[in-house]
Structure formats: C-alpha cells, structure tokens
Amino acid sequence: MSGLHVAVVGATGAVGQQMLHTLEERDFPVKKLTLLSSERSAGKKVLFKGVEVTVEVATPDKFEGVHIALFSAGGSVSKELAPEAAKRGAIVVDNTSYFRMDPNVPLVVPEVNEEDIKSHNGIIANPNCSTIQMVVALEPIRKSYGLNKIIVSTYQAVSGAGAAAIDELESQSQAILNKEAFTPSILPVKGDKKHYQIAFNAIPQIDKFEDNGFTFEELKMINETKKIMHDQKLQVAATCVRLPVVTGHSESVYIEVEDENVTVQDIRSLLENAPGVVLQDKPEEQVYPMPADCVGSNYVFVGRIRQDLDNKKGFHLWVVSDNLLKGAAWNSVQIAESLVKLGVISKYLSRKERRL
C-alpha cells in the first residue's frame, strides 16, 4: 500500500492541528487527506505539506474510502461518527474518553501495549493524556521488577481544558497584575456550578466529582492504567490538580515494586534506554524535567528518582510531557504508524472485503 487516505475529525482544534503537524513532521504516508469538523469551522483552509485543504462538515458519508480516521472532536462526535467510519472500512483512532473502557476497544500506548491494536474491531482508543505519560515511564519498571502500587499526583496544564482555558489564564493573569476585577467562567469545569481563579492558583479538581469523591479525571487514570497494563489487581490512586501552566503536564509518582533488591541506579539504567523516555536525573546539578522545557517534544521526561525512606520497594519519580503531543496527537499518530508497521490495515481491509 503506497499511500493512505487519512481523515482528521476536529481538524481545526488544538489537538487536531497538532495531529496534522505531527503527520507532516513524521512524513506519514498520506496519499489523500480529508479534514472534518463542525459546521462552524467548515470552509476554513488548512495548510498541509504546502497545499491548502478545505475543512468539510463531518458526516458519515465522508468516511467512504478512508483508511485511518483520527478523531479529536469530543465524545458526542465520536459516539455518533466513529462507528459510522468503522462501518465504512476506516480504522478509527479516537482521542476522546468515549470508547476507552469499552472491553471490545483496545486502549493503546505503543511503547506499552502495541500488540493490542491487532485485536481492534475498527476503533482504537487513545488514553487520557496524564495516563499516557505515566505508563510510558512505568512500563519498563513493571516488566523488569513487577509493580504492585501506584500513587500519582498530577500538576496539569490548562491547555488540557481547551483554548478557552488558556485565554482565561492569560486574561486573569493580566487582570491581577493590573489590579483589575475579573469573573472566572471556565475552570475547573465549564459546565459545573462554580468556577475558580486559575491565575496564581492551584485547583484540585479536573472534571466532575463522582460519588466516591474522586473526579472523573482521576478515575480515568486509575481504570485506564489497569486496562493498558492488563492488571486489574494493580493498586492505583490519583489526585489531579490544575496549575497555571499553559502546556506540559507534570506528575509526582510513587510506586511499589515486587523486587526488594531494586536500586535507584537500576531504575535509572532501565529508563535511560526505554522507548519514548528521556532521563533527566542529576539532582547534584539541579537537572530534572520541567514543563517549560518539554513543550514541542514527543518524549516523556523522567527525573527525581529516589527510593522511599521507609519502604525498600517504594520509589518516587517526577514525570513530565507535552500533553498536546505525547498526551494526544503524537500518541494517536504513533498508533497509526503501528497500524502500518504491523500490517494491520491491509489485514483489516481484506477481512472487510471478504464479509461484503
């Protein structure tokens, strides 16, 4: 197959734009590109490899002949159109939370469970941005030394809540510096009852609260990690916090391994050669990952690795990544690359043709 027909749904959004940039940067074999969006954005022109492509309204018939459809337009759009795309022979890589916990839909981070894409039925889910960077950092440790427990606290950028949240951070910051009044209207959750200041603040709520006291974002991290690592017995707890950072999620991660003979140097050596990971861990030189330095990178950065003072099997790590790239666009394109590399597309199309 010399070239593929690729569709991007939500092409004018922040993640959709990053998907297009990543497809171009990776020189993905795009023979034909279809850009889809809501009626509001239809008609806009987007430049791809020096050629202007017109954005069209996303409707079921637009997926005829599409090989790979990258979705990032919200759960309701995925719910309606992803099955329609799959019905027409496309393999959907969905960046929303809608299909993630569906037992019939693989939830994939290529560095961790690439083989799972072979079991797809037309739809593959892209995990939550915070989950992705954490499992990339922890999978090499789990494979070598076992993993019993994860406790993670996240420090998440406002870009994870969309362009309006970025605008609100910037306008509030300016208002505070100018000693002007302002009224928060976006964070922590646009549709929730209360909204709080994000500038010069930290909000310990991302997404709505569930009955058990955890937020939906926290439950995503808990449940997705177990699904990706194929381990329902793994103990996972999460606290997710929004910080006044534009791009780049940070995480403080505590883990407990099974092997009591593991050392900090063992973990450093593993991560130094781990796929998708950059080790930045020289505390004596104040070298550690920071979100300001990871913007625009596809990698997951790990540092501050240290053994717990009370538990020989316990270790602490600091994990940082660009939430719009590895946390969304790059992981989606990586899945598309895996589909090509493993020959999954050709087999899927042949299977479809035999059924017709």
Catalytic residue ranges: 129, 249
Give 3-state DSSP helix, strand, coil % of the chain, rounded to 5.
35, 25, 40
For the CA atoms of 87, 88, 94, 99, what is the dihedral angle to 10 degrees? 0
At 261, list the tokens: 């003979």
> What does DSSP say about strands 249-256 and 314-321: parallel, antiparallel, or unpaired?
antiparallel
Beta pairing partners, 316: 254, 306
Whether 197 and 184 have beta carbons less than 8 Å apart is answered as: yes
Structural element, H or E, at residue 140:
helix 129-145
Radius of gyration of the chain from its Cα atoms, rounded to whole angstroms: 21
Q: Exposed, middle or buried by CB within 10 Å (0-12, 13-18, 19+), for 72?
A: buried
DSSP 8-class letter at 209: B
